[in-house]
Amino acid sequence: MLERIGSPADLRGLTYEELAELAAEIRTFLVDNVSRTGGHLGPNLGVVELTIGIHRVFHSPHDSIVFDTGHQAYVHKLLTGRQNFSTLRRRGGLSGYPDRQESVHDIVENSHASTALSWAAGIARGHTLRGESARSTVAVIGDGALTGGMAWEALNSLGASRDRVVVVINDNGRSYAPTIGGLARKLDGIRTDRRYEDFLGWGKRTFERRGRLRNFTYQTVMHAKRALKGLLTDDGVFSDLGLKYIGPIDGHDQRQVERALRQAHEFGEPVIVHVLTDKGRGYSPAEQDVADRFHAVGKIHPETGLPIERSRFGWTSVFADEILAAAEERPDVVALTAAMLAPVGLQPLADAYPDRVIDVGIAEQHAVTSAAGLAYAGLHPVVAVYATFLNRAFDQVLMDVALHRAGVTFMLDRAGITGDDGPSHNGMWDMALLRHVPGLRLAAPRDEATLRQAFREALDVDDAPTVVRYPKGAVGEPLPAARTVGDLEVLAEHGDGPRVIVIGLGSMAATAIAAADKIAAEGIDTLAATATWVHPVPAGLEELVRDAELVVTVEDGLTDAGLGEEWASYARLHGLTAAWAHHGVRREFLQHASRAQLIDDMGLDPSAIAAGTIAQLDAR
């Protein structure tokens, strides 16, 4: 059946019996293919009937369909002609998120959450202003993404509009883990009936604009209607915003889904369709996974769901272990996360001290400012997020934490180049951004020991923000220092008076050692160094580079405005004459590929760095 679907138009002639067969085939396809490549499995298993229904009722790309977040768009890809999943999340293959370069059916590439409703509001208003009144805009948003403040800003705006927007709440009670907070409890209780809206329309037509007495009668009847509705239902959170509401709908009943979507489509103004789905539906290992219903998986055995290769001890696990140990010693240590308790390593702490871990939902701005409040109250908050997600709360870091000299520690997981998840997930912006924050101190540990040490040192700072950044994946071998120069650490030395000094920051320290080895093999005295605390400029830099001819910096953040440039500027201001060369990430969005491929593309491998260094020396 799936092979017969080349575009959404092919769905519209199918019977409901054929659609049920198609849904089963799609689930089998997803399990078979995602188990080979890795990817977001659970969210897509839950939206099969819903996505089929959207494409049967609406006409993409004439009607715009926006997914929030894009990890639930695999079924959408299948139904829009993209059925080769063999290279999913690999260079040259399908992106793990919607991608405009792949299809005219894809609108928003950004996989950060809570943005789709603002996109939809803008698209729909654009259609209205252009006189394209027949075009609808559909935003599919998970209940977890509704915990983000941007979503509510958009709902507030939509409540005052008359544009053709259908907001589909895919309510599976989860983001990664179960959705938390008052919103989750609210959605659990919502019930309504479209007949009330029909009654509202009748009342408006019958009484409105027929004189003062009849207007008064209309208002009285409407107040009575709302009171009755309040007794029987609980959709006030949406109706108070002026939004029409349909639901909740069984998201796995194809007829119910399509009936609700058609009602919303025909209404012609902003409507919320509340759809209940089961994350991981139809795949027993996912359904039985209490943690996150197989939200994202690596390569797994499809029969059992067990990983094919056991992952090595990772950076996140080091942090998880160390914050638990610190919390046992220090009752002032508390942690915050934005709907990613397990992915950032806070689950063990939450298990041991549930009152000392705060999951704010997908609300990074709120997390950062509330951390400043916790610091004011005498605690030491630790905000654990992916590096790319801190971009969303830069203003709060600057104005709420730094301005108020709050002792808040930020642990930035997946910093640097992450690769497979594409341009929105590479954590390459943090160092270039954060170096401009007054008083902020930033660490880039190179191995397990320096991560543990940096975290403990950060906890001792109570008058400024501290940041510790570390990459995705397994921790490498220990890189002990041969000696120290101030706060800089020498990792390898070739010769007595180095012409070249290669400084590798964080995860690039091993690259600096390897590059220095290759340069030295050409008969050039070379030294490899690093620092754990990389901003402000570490003490000892002047002494280390004073007699060098060339200083090479290697970082997995932006080259432009990066830390290498900051260090070079500092050296020049202090009268040092060494030339500098900087290697890092180009100022561009990196398309999905493996980390190794991206490293090679940007010349961040040891061979390329060594070759460039030797060429620069020869040209002097």
Q: List, by residue number, the catalytic residues.
A: 279, 364, 392
**Please, are residues 448 and 420 in contact by the beta-carbon 8 Å criterion?**
no
Under DSSP, is residue 271 helix (H, G, I), strand (E, B) or coil? strand
Under DSSP, is residue 537 helix (H, G, I), strand (E, B) or coil? coil
What burial class does residue 260 get, using C-beta atoms within 10 Å of its C-beta: 0-12 exposed, 13-18 middle, 19+ buried?
buried
What burial class does residue 24 get, using C-beta atoms within 10 Å of its C-beta: 0-12 exposed, 13-18 middle, 19+ buried?
middle
Handedness of CA 545, 546, 547, 548 (dihedral sign): positive
What burial class does residue 160 get, using C-beta atoms within 10 Å of its C-beta: 0-12 exposed, 13-18 middle, 19+ buried?
exposed
Torsion angle (degrees, nearest 10) of CA 58, 167, 61, 260: -10
Rounded CA-CA distance 238/156 in Å is 9
Least Cα distance to 508 among 434, 419, 604, 443 occurs for: 604
How long a stretch of residues is the chain?
A: 620
Task: Write 475-483 long-range contacts (CB < 8 A, 24+).
Answer: 475/312, 475/313, 475/314, 475/315, 475/318, 475/447, 475/448, 475/451, 476/447, 476/507, 476/510, 477/447, 477/510, 478/447, 478/448, 478/449, 479/446, 479/447, 479/509, 479/510, 479/513, 479/530
**Please, are residues 282 and 27 in contact by the beta-carbon 8 Å criterion?**
yes
Rounded CA-CA distance 381/333 in Å is 6
Rounded CA-CA distance 297/283 in Å is 13
CA neighbours closer than 13 Å in the CB half-sphere of residue 561: 10
Rounded CA-CA distance 43/115 in Å is 18
**Please, are residues 494 and 481 in contact by the beta-carbon 8 Å criterion?**
no
**Please, are residues 338 and 389 in contact by the beta-carbon 8 Å criterion?**
yes
Rounded CA-CA distance 344/356 in Å is 15
Under DSSP, is residue 316 helix (H, G, I), strand (E, B) or coil? helix
Per-residue b or e along 118-136, where b marks 16 or more CB atoms closer than 10 Å to that residue's CB: bbbbebbbebeeeeeeebb
Q: In Å, how far are 331, 450, 469, 567 from 475, measured between CA atoms? A: 29, 11, 13, 26
